[in-house]
Amino acid sequence: MRVEQSRATGWVAWVLFGGILLVLLGTVHLCVGLLALLRPEVLAGTRADQLLPVSLTALAWLHLVLGAGAVVTGVGLIRGTGWARVLAVLIGCLTALVNFAFHHAHPVWSVLAVGLSAVVVYSVAAHGGEVADAYGS
């Protein structure tokens, strides 16, 4: 029996954490999108329909598309695929920019989200290949 030594570092945990966060975030977006489509009266008059000058239906479909993309990307990131690493970096950078843009409305959450996004983007960009190595692919 031949035993191989893994070159994976502790940063793999951050890459997997990023994948799990993407799956959870995508699930939340899917739920909000479905809620906005099926029961729009629940979200009517809240900040969701006042943040952007678009209809609640358009925001619902945007949430559904982004949510599905985030879930698929998160699962791909956990599996160590290359395309998911690229998308995870793009989604992480976009998340950081959006949270930075709204830091005046939610300062604590924005600082936390920008910091987590930065760590996850770095870990995926610098150490994302280690997850694929750990799977043997």
Work out the percent of the chain whose per-residue pLDDT is above 90.
23
Cβ partners under 8 Å of residue 80, min gap 6: 128, 129, 131, 132, 133, 134, 135, 137
Structure tokens at 61: 């479909």
The predicted model scores a pTM of 0.79
What rounded mean pLDDT belongs to the chain? 83
Condensed to tens digits (0 to 9), the pLDDT of residues 32-62 reads 889 889 988 876 665 544 555 777 788 789 8
